[in-house]
Amino acid sequence: MRFAKALLISHITDLAGPSEALENYLRSRSDSLGVIYHPFHYCSDRRSIAKKYAAGRLVSESRGGGWALPNLLTYVKDALFSVFFFAGFLSRFDACVACDPLNGIVAVLLKKCGLIKRVIFYTIDWMPGRFANPALNRLYHALDRFCLRNCDAAWNISPRIVEIRREQGLPDERNVLVPVGVDLEKIDLPDKSATTPTDVVLLGALSPSKGVDLVIEAWPALLARFPHLRLHVIGKTPNNAIEDGVVYAPFEARLRALGPSVILHGVMNHDAVLDTLPAFDISLALYRPTDNNLSRWADPSRVKDYLACGLPVVITDVPEIAKDVAALHAGVVAGYTVDDVAAAIAAMVEDPDRWRAMRQAAVDSMQRYRWSAIFDASFEAALAAPLR
């Protein structure tokens, strides 16, 4: 796959995800690439970013607009910065991938001005109740439907969202499943044929919906039973520490209070994460089973990173990938209770042979999720759809 002039517009978090993987893919396949990123309001650095690549080489990068604004004003600021950064590229683009509605609106309007030839609307997250505020939620879905009607193709991160798009009337030739992939070439797996599992890892933003409370409550009993266990935490409590409109206390102090068996690594970039994860043994993805948990509709990238790094996962039955974990015996699907989580971890620690079998199943299950192959197939499908 080759592009003359490509553009990517996306919101991002502190941890790398599909957008950063797509940037890496496009920079090696584009004569000219423009990238516009807007960190979410809870990120450490809120400044919007513009990058320009020529033949895969970064030739310019600028940042701006990192003000602490109310959420709605932040989204308005992001849209204006997208237009400002686009103007700075001084170019028309053959193809633009715009992630989620706000960026999709900008891309569609630029297309209507004749500045972009083809718009691919990439839905990385979607849910019926995306925002607690009803008016804001209605606006979000109205923008989402506008992008759907006006894009040339829609990429959707999970089968559940593909089905929603079908129900919304999107023709199958424009409705493309783009699952989360893995940078397999960046992972170096150690030999653990004689290893007994001792190191448990929790990766990602520390929030109530990620089951951090369960881990904190389960850990003392696990440690009393297995004194050699260690818990590694990669990530941090988001800056605003608000979820579903409720303020919660940062988790770091509670984790430190568990003692020296808990190691807080803080936020790492994605390459560092992939360097670090293979040293651990068991991973945690404890999504709270509520209707408004975004992970119910998503394809969480951290789960696939865990599996590709050889870490059997303890996961709750919220994201679609939990079904694959169960079917492939690549981990344990646990109930969202302290006792169930503790029992799932204990079962792996007590039976190293079973754990090693799960480890191999985890690695094997990810071999078909190489990012380059996923994006090759996804662009092929999107470019085959007629222009609108």
- What does the pLDDT look like over 41-66, one tens digit per residue? 878 789 999 999 999 999 999 999 99
Between the alpha carbon of residue 180 and those of residues 21, 153, 275, 298, the distances in Å are 9, 18, 19, 9
pLDDT of residue 76: 92
pLDDT of residue 15: 77
Q: 317 forms bridges with which residues in the sheet?
A: none
Is the pLDDT at 182 greater than 80, yes or no? Answer: yes
Structure tokens at 174: 């424009």
Question: Residues 359-369: pLDDT tens digits?
Answer: 999 999 999 99
Q: Which CATH superfamily is domain 3-181+370-384 in?
A: Glycogen Phosphorylase B; (3.40.50.2000)
Question: Residues 19-37: pLDDT tens digits?
Answer: 999 999 999 999 999 999 9
Q: Which amino acid is at 363?
A: V
Domain ranges for the chain: 3-181+370-384, 184-365
Choose between 69 and 32: higher pLDDT.
Answer: 32
Structure tokens at 83: 């237009």
Output the pTM of the full model. 0.88
Q: Do 3-181+370-384 and 184-365 fold alike per CATH?
A: yes
pLDDT of residue 17: 87
Domain 184-365 CATH assignment equals 3.40.720.10? no
- Average pLDDT across the chain, whole number: 95
Q: What is the dihedral of CA 265, 271, 274, 277, to 10 degrees?
A: -10
Give exposure, 57-77, as e/b (b: 16+ Cβ within 10 Å): eeeeeebebeeeeeeeebbeb
